[in-house]
Amino acid sequence: MNNFHFHNPVKILFGKGESSNFKDEIPVGSKVMILYGGGSIKKNGVYEKVQEQLKDYEVIEFSGIEPNPHYETLMKAVEIVREKGIDFLLAVGGGSVLDGTKFVSAAVHYPNGDPWNILSKGDIKSITNPLPIGAVLTLPATGSEMNGNSVITRSETKDKLGFGTPLVMPKFSVLDPTVISSLPERQVANGIVDAFVHVMEQYLTYPVNAPIQDRFAESILCTLIEEGPKVMNDSSDYEAAANFMWAATMALNGLISTGVPQDWSTHMIGHELTALHGIDHARTLAIVLPGVMQVMLQNKKDKLLQYGANVWNVTNGTEEVKVNTTIQKTVDFFESLGIKTRGSEYGITEATVDEICNRFEQRGVNALGEKGDLTIDNVRQILKMRL
């Protein structure tokens, strides 16, 4: 195992009814901005619960944070925060609302010109006095509720970029699994696949003798495979929803990546498909991951065999047979959730492949993967294979 630092101070309030139980977490006297999305929280009862919790605070609302939250939208929130002297941000929503809120938090007192620099120049170190964040999660998927990561899209340039810093970790996150019962099937499926791929990107690299991390990763994968379909069949199954929700949080809170290599190439490539074609984030991952597994097979073979054996019980046949069976089982799992895994099914053509490779070239992105040897040619291979 490699050396690591691990520090995750996010407080989790988990379970039925916790959305009516968080007001003590917000400092008395705070001026709170509630940030949310398209208004689904007004249909599922979460909005009323949050209002009830905040009745002793001065509150301003900011709605309309879109999926793949836009820099342009968020800068409007930043303006209002500055103008009104807001000092606490409460994100109520899924990963997009949380990610967007993190950007607002970092941008408000950013001293170095346009806060877009945080993303485009990776200028984390200039972030000054970020606003404290609380979160009420309404959609398990991204893990944003227990980490300092954020991905923001600039609609003008179709750039979808991420930043990460402990400075924008939520102070607390409320995870009430009852919210899942009101989610559309499509969002549940997306959440399962997103969490699944998060684990894979911290696990499917090469072995470094880290059995706790490997077993924890396999634990999350097995739980998603087992509980995901139950939630799809019956989103009011509280126990399955709770297990799915906790699995998604554990998938990206820094725990399983301690001391092990990581490979975020599937996300990097997937982000481009969303930026250019508007495909749901999770669906881009389902398209790209099987290609990364195939093309980067030599780097990943040992872990692929381990993953096949421990997660899918693939133990018979030659190594080649086992690897292929394992990749196919992964694809079948995504498809079983109603997620198409071929780019052509989403209208992607070779022209998009070229465009993505060009964009990577322009940005100087040419060393992805756990060993930094995934080239732009490999990106091309991966995407063509998955058309």
Task: Using CB under 8 A, list all residues that contact a copy of itself.
Answer: 1-18, 209-212, 215-216, 218-220, 222-223, 226-227, 239, 242-243, 246-247, 250, 255, 258-259
6 burial (CB, 10 Å; 0-12 / 13-18 / 19+) is: exposed
State the minimum distance, in angstroms, from the CB of residue 17 to a copy of itself: 7
Kindly tell me which of 221 and 287 has the beta carbon lying closer to a copy of itself: 221
**Residues 288-327, buried b or exposed e (16+ Cβ, 10 A)?**
bbbbbbbbbeebbbebbbbbbebbbebeeeeeeebbbbbb
State the minimum distance, in angstroms, from the CB of residue 303 to a copy of itself: 17
State the minimum distance, in angstroms, from the CB of residue 253 to a copy of itself: 10
Kindly tell me which of 117 and 165 has the beta carbon lying closer to a copy of itself: 165
For residues 227 and 118, give the distance between their C-alpha atoms in angstroms, rounded to a whole number. Answer: 37
- Cβ-based neighbours of 119, under 8 Å, separated by 6 or more: 71, 152, 154, 159, 161, 162, 163
Q: Which helix (H) or strand (E) holds 101?
A: helix 95-107
For residues 152 and 307, give the distance between their C-alpha atoms in angstroms, rounded to a whole number. Answer: 31
Report residue 279 as tokens.
């495909």
Residue located via tokens 């309030």: 13
For residues 251 and 264, give the distance between their C-alpha atoms in angstroms, rounded to a whole number. Answer: 14
Dihedral sign for Cα 193, 360, 380, 280, please.
positive
Kindly tell me which of 225 and 383 has the beta carbon lying closer to a copy of itself: 225
State the minimum distance, in angstroms, from the CB of residue 18 to a copy of itself: 7
Kindly tell me which of 63 and 206 has the beta carbon lying closer to a copy of itself: 206
Kindly tell me which of 24 and 361 has the beta carbon lying closer to a copy of itself: 24
For residues 117 and 376, give the distance between their C-alpha atoms in angstroms, rounded to a whole number. Answer: 25
* Ramachandran area for residue 17 (φ above 0: left; ψ -120 to 50: alpha; else beta): left
* Residue at 122: amino acid letter: G
Residue located via tokens 């096949």: 308
State the minimum distance, in angstroms, from the CB of residue 199 to a copy of itself: 12
Kindly tell me which of 68 and 173 has the beta carbon lying closer to a copy of itself: 173
Kindly tell me which of 169 and 183 has the beta carbon lying closer to a copy of itself: 169
Q: Which helix (H) or strand (E) holds 154?
A: strand 149-154
Kindly tell me which of 217 and 353 has the beta carbon lying closer to a copy of itself: 217
State the minimum distance, in angstroms, from the CB of residue 108 to a copy of itself: 24
State the minimum distance, in angstroms, from the CB of residue 205 to a copy of itself: 17
